[in-house]
Each structure stands twice: as C-alpha cells, then as structure tokens.
Amino acid sequence: MSTLYALRSIFSEPISPVVLFPLVAAGAALIWALWKPRPLDSIPTIGPSGPLSSYIGAFQFMFRGRQMIQEGYERYYGGYFKVPILDRWMVVVSGKKLSDELRSAPEDTFSLDQALVDMLHLDFVFGKKVYLNPLHVTLMKTKMTKTIAALTPDMYDECIQAFEQHMPLDDSKEWKAVPALAVGRQISTIVNNRIVVGYPLCRDPEYINLNLRFIVDMFQCRMLFCLIPRFMEPLVGRIATNIPSQIRLGMRLLKPVLDRRVKQLEESDGDWSALPNDMLSWLIATVPKDETLDTITRRLLGVNVAAIHTISHTFTHSLFYLAANQDFIPPIRAEVEKAVAEDGWTKSAMGKLYLLDSFLKEVLRFNGAQAWSLNRIALKDYTFSDGTFIPKGTSVAACATPVHMDPSVYPEPEKFDPYRFYRLMERDGEANQHLVVKTSLEYLPFGHGSHACPGRFFAANQLKLMIGHLLLNYDIELEQPGALPERVWFEAAVLPHQTAKILYRKRQT
Ligand code: HEM
C-alpha cells in the first residue's frame, strides 16, 4: 500500500524538470543502446533477433542448435545467417565459395586460436604462459603424428588391458551389459594416455577420471563466465569453479611420474632414449627451463581435452552402429583378421583397413563433433568477396552437418552406408582421396585447411586398433536389438546416447 501511495504521489505532483530531464535522457540512452543499428543487423537471424528476445533464441539454440543451423542452410544457402549463443552471435556461412574463403583467410584475419581462447576461456583455464606458448599443440601437430608407427604396439598393449578391465571376458555364452559411453570413455582415455603420460599413470582411475571430468569443468566455467564481466573472470574462476582444484589434483598425480623421469634422465647421463616415448617425455625435452609442474600439468590436460572426448565419442557412436547393424560386422572382422595376420597390430596393418576406414568416415559424416566447423574469430574488420562486412571480434563458422546431409553432395544422405567411401576407393582404384583423414569442404568433421585437426591420423589409428580388437574378440548386441540409441544434440555439438547399454560376450564364431 505504502509503495502504491508513494507512486501515486510522484505521478500526481508535477515532476520537476531537474528530475524529468535526466530520467528521459537515461531512458532514451537505454533504448538507443539496446536497439541502435548494429553491423550484424544486415545478416539474417535464425530465431528471435531482438536485443532481449535473442536470449530466448540462445536458450532455444541449446536444444535446437542442429535444426536452427539446418534451417539457416536451407534458407540462406550460399550466403550468411546468424544464430544467438549465450554470450555472442555466431555468423554462419554456407556454400563452398564462402566456406573456402573462411578456411583460407590468414590467421591474423580469422583466428582459430582466438576462437578457442574466447569460447573455452583458455586464458583462465591454462594460463597465459601456456596458451601464448602452446608447445603441446606443436608437439601434437608434429611429433605425435610422426611417431604413430612407433607408438602403435604400446597402444595395442594398452588396448588389450583396457578392454580386459572394462569388458572382461569369460567362456560363458551369456551376454553381459555395460553402459556404452561410460566404458567407451574409460577405454579410449586409458589407451590414449599410454602415449601421453605412459604406464602406470594411464591406468590410474583417479587420473583417468580427472581428465574425463576436466572438460565438464571447463564447460561449467564457460557457462559461469557468460554471466559476469570479463575483468571478474580470474577472481570468480578461482573461487567458484573446479579448475584450480582439478589442476592441483593433476599436479599431485603427475609429480611422482615427472620426478621419476628427471631421475631416469640424470642416471642415463641425459640419454633421452632412456625415457618412455610419450608426450610427457617430449614435453620435458621441449619446454623452457622456467616451466613448472603447474604448467606441464595444464599442457597435459590440454592434450587430453583435444583428444579423448572426440575419440571416445566416435568410438561409442561406432559401437552403437555395429551393434545395431549386425551385418556390418563379418566383412569388417574379415578385413581386420587378414591385415593383422599379414602385419600384426601395426600402423601398416591399420592402414590396410579400408572398409573399417569407410565405416568410420560414415560414422563421422553423421556425427562429426559439431554441426558447424571452421570456428573462427575475426581479428580485424573483414569484407567477404561478395561485399558482406564482418566487424572485428565477430565469431564466424561454416555449416558442416547440413553439408554432410545434403543430397546434392551425398546421395541418400540419411542412409548410413558403411560402404559409401569404400566404393569410391574401389571406383578410383586409389584409396587416399577417400580416407577418413582426407578433409574437404564437403567433409568437415576434422575441419579443413591449415588448421585441419592435426590429431586425425592418430585418432583414426587408435579407433581402428580399438574397433579391430573389439570385433576380433567380442560379440556385441544392443539391449533393444536393431534400435540405434538416439544421440543427443547440445548447442551445435552431438554426443552419443548418454546411458544406453551394449551387451557383449566372448566371440562365438
Ligand atoms: C575423432 C577425433 C577427432 C575429431 C572429430 C577432431 C576434430 C577437430 C576439429 C573439428 C578441429 C578444428 C579444425 C578447424 O577448425 O579447422 C580440431 C582441431 C584440433 N585437434 Fe582434433 N579432432 C579429433 C581428434 C584429435 C586428437 C586425437 C588430437 C590430439 C592428439 C587432436 C588435436 C587437435 C588440435 C591440437 C587441434 C587444433 C589445431 C590447430 O590449432 O591448428 N584432435 N580437431
């Protein structure tokens, strides 16, 4: 009542110009700030576009991201559209010409590094020292790919162990059930970490779970940072996110391993070959003298962020397709058996698995990590060749899933066909152009161009080892045979069904 009375008395009395003028001016400034013309206004929006309603659009995008990108592709093919995400607009280009222009723009114009820093808050998570000097990324791009052949026996050794731990076999014909994604994540992370930190840390459940959990902590950090001004991020991040405690945990787990390596090196008079051949040893050999346990831990977490979820999701999607389509299994099994009989579990044997390669390529055509690719940030104002202006600071990406599902690019795109790329290899009598690692503007799960995923050769090799081992030793089935567990889309990202189980038993035939 008293509030009503106060309001009535304000409006019943003539308002003094001294009060009225600043009020009107502030209101006008607010309206101008919210509704003033902006450089991106000329780019059509999918979903609500008002200054306030776009937040509803960002909310819609969380759950309908894939459909919104598809809608943009269909309505504005060959041009641009924008979608709202929590803290920004994302301008999306479609069609070969614009995607190619985005791909080939130099790093000082459209930057992947800056896009990762902005989206994942790498400056806070990894610290300036690490993200401004990403030696671990350089090692993934160079040493890791060059060393695949030498690392493959160790990885296969770890593969046998990880499967035995998480999908133990006995002579019973009874099926056992395991949650596919949880087990897929464990096995992929253990195998991967054999060549990141080596044995025995790669088998330590606390270390494996830290790495699996870290990306969730990064995501929560991103959501929180969307709500606060940039200058508050370091303080809020330290107080309100799990990142600092996770880094401390990583340091505690890594310290004994690091100490042992340094001692080994001293005892061998600096002979690097005395150390295990893995990312940790390469880092010790490469980082500047003033690097600490803290920064090395952050770098190793960074390697895991890039590698383990992409591989484990692709592995889990693959499990579901194989279990749902039993007829896919015998020909892939036969191919693996032949190659391994000739060359053992080696990189060269994995290189002979053309049908498995084609199957994986089809898995990623449907389930590349994101519905868009080539995520970049404009580091300066840029005008596309058709005259479209993109201001500095704008996030830009290219359509990916809509291209993968476009009937003019892939006939019968909705059909999952494990032979799709195998047939092209046979037709051309030359496999290389059609392998899963071959990127193009029509095949974007790994991006394309100078930033195309440098880990894709490694990922393909690891996935072939894991799927090959699975098929040669196990029968698999779905809990509800034939019904492919539905994947989950969140914003532009696709994830395998979170809880669906697969059944397994020792191979019977
Ligand atoms: C199925 C597995 C994988 C998928 C689908 C995938 C996908 C991608 C994509 C889409 C990009 C961005 C490319 C661009 O914007 O042009 C990327 C970049 C990157 N990936 Fe992967 N990736 C996978 C596995 C890996 C693995 C195993 C590693 C490391 C061992 C890795 C390391 C990296 C790095 C370091 C970059 C940044 C490249 C740069 O800065 O130029 N990825 N990946």
Domains of the chain: 134-369+400-506 (1.10.630.10)
Cβ–ligand 1 distance for 105 under 6 Å, the answer: no
Cβ atoms of 421 and 404 within 8 Å: the answer is: no
Helix (H) or strand (E) holding 195: none
Pocket of ligand 1, candidates 453, 463, 465, 494: which has the most ligand atoms within 8 Å of its Cβ, to mutate? 453
Cβ–ligand 1 distance for 437 under 6 Å, the answer: no
Cβ–ligand 1 distance for 311 under 6 Å, the answer: yes
Per-residue pLDDT reduced to its tens digit, 304-360? 999 999 999 999 999 999 999 999 999 999 999 999 999 999 999 999 999 999 999
For residues 457 and 455, give the distance between their C-alpha atoms in angstroms, rounded to a whole number.
Answer: 6
**Which atom of ligand 1 is least distant from the CA of 449?**
16
Q: Whose CA is nearest to atom 28 of ligand 1?
A: 455
Q: Is 453 annotated as a binding residue?
A: yes
Cβ atoms of 402 and 77 within 8 Å: the answer is: no
Cβ–ligand 1 distance for 119 under 6 Å, the answer: no
**Which atom of ligand 1 is least distant from the CA of 370?**
10
Give 288-345 as a DSSP string: -TT--HHHHHHHHHHHHHHHHHHHHHHHHHHHHHHHH-GGGHHHHHHHHHHHHHHH-S
Cβ–ligand 1 distance for 458 under 6 Å, the answer: yes
Query: What is the residue type of 242?
Result: N
Cβ–ligand 1 distance for 461 under 6 Å, the answer: no
User: Residue 443: its pLDDT value, please?
Assistant: 98
Cβ atoms of 153 and 120 within 8 Å: the answer is: no
User: Residue 1: its pLDDT value, please?
Assistant: 46
CA of 191 relative to ligand 1 center, distance in Å: 18
pTM of the model as a whole = 0.92
CA of 281 relative to ligand 1 center, distance in Å: 22
Q: Whose CA is nearest to atom 39 of ligand 1?
A: 451
Cβ–ligand 1 distance for 302 under 6 Å, the answer: no
Give 435-469 as a DSSP string: STT--BTTB-TT--STTS-TTHHHHHHHHHHHHHH
Cβ–ligand 1 distance for 314 under 6 Å, the answer: yes
Ranges of residues in the chain with a pLDDT under 50 are 1, 7
Q: Whose CA is nearest to atom 27 of ligand 1?
A: 307
CA of 166 relative to ligand 1 center, distance in Å: 27
235-264 CB burial, b ≥16 within 10 A, e <16: ebbeeebbbeebbebbbebbeebbeebeee
Per-residue pLDDT reduced to its tens digit, 399-409? 999 999 999 99
User: Residue 297: its pLDDT value, please?
Assistant: 97
CA of 451 relative to ligand 1 center, distance in Å: 8
Residue with tokens 């107080």: 239
Per-residue pLDDT reduced to its tens digit, 460-482? 999 999 999 999 999 999 998 88
User: Residue 38: its pLDDT value, please?
Assistant: 75
CA of 219 relative to ligand 1 center, distance in Å: 18
Q: Whose CA is nearest to atom 13 of ligand 1?
A: 447
